[in-house]
Amino acid sequence: MITKTKKYNVVLILLFIMSLHFISTKLNYFLLKEEVFDSRHWNEKWWLIGHLFVGIVVFFLGPFLFWEGFRKKYLKLHRLFGKIYLISIVLASFSASYIAWTASIKIHFTWAFSQQILSFTWFATAFMAYRAVKLHRIKQHKEWVVRSYIVTWGFIVFRWIDNYLSVLEIGTFVERGPTLIYTILFLSLFFYEIILQWNNRKPIR
């Protein structure tokens, strides 16, 4: 019989494999060859490299933070990973904000603004996770860390969907991009909230 814990671990393994795949597609940027970057990002290459580096750290550490067995066996390492994870999100969100208003703005204001909203949401979820743990609200801390990882995956899911819609020639990038960002953010966090409330068995008094 497959237990709930085993199902959960399978999901974490899949997330880890998907994270490694994503990381492998971004390693060519670290070669610092101009042909790898588009014309908008070459002048901001160090901001993009920094953003990718801390973003990769977030992707890599995420599954370890959700792995209960790892947390129980290596609590100190779990806490260290948690600090690195949150600091990396803060750095990634700030660098993404800079890139939005220097490179993405060259596409369109709406695209830059949607990236800014994504960056702010990313930062806010990390900050709330930090605040919850400092107040010893462990349940809330875990929930906000999950939200932060959902937002982390938001841009990757966006890329997958946008590439598919591009092949189908559905709309221009300026039409698709901001709409997809807002839709993915809303639906992913909304459905996570539904799951939380659905599993909340605490009686209302």
**DSSP class of 203:** P
Per-residue pLDDT of the chain (205 residues; tens, 9 = 90+): 455 666 667 777 887 788 788 778 778 888 888 888 877 788 888 999 999 999 989 988 988 888 888 888 888 999 999 999 999 999 999 999 999 999 999 999 999 999 999 999 999 999 999 999 999 999 999 999 999 999 999 888 998 899 899 999 898 999 999 999 999 999 999 999 998 888 776 655 5
Q: State pLDDT tens for residues 37-64.
A: 877 788 888 999 999 999 989 988 988 8
Q: Which of 147, 49, 144 is nearest to 92 (CA)?
A: 49
pTM above 0.75, yes or no: yes
CA distance 18 to 203: 38
Q: What are the residues whose beta carbons fall under 8 Å from the beta carbon of 29, sequence distance 6 or more?
A: 36, 37, 48, 49, 52
Q: Which of 78, 49, 76 is nearest to 61 (CA)?
A: 78
CB 126 within 8 A of CB 90: yes
Q: What are the residues whose beta carbons fall under 8 Å from the beta carbon of 102, sequence distance 6 or more?
A: 43, 44, 47
CA distance 170 to 152: 25
CA distance 22 to 15: 10
Q: Which of 47, 54, 125, 133 is nearest to 87 (CA)?
A: 54
CA distance 99 to 120: 13
Packing angle of the helix pair 4-26, 45-66 (nearest 10 deg): 170
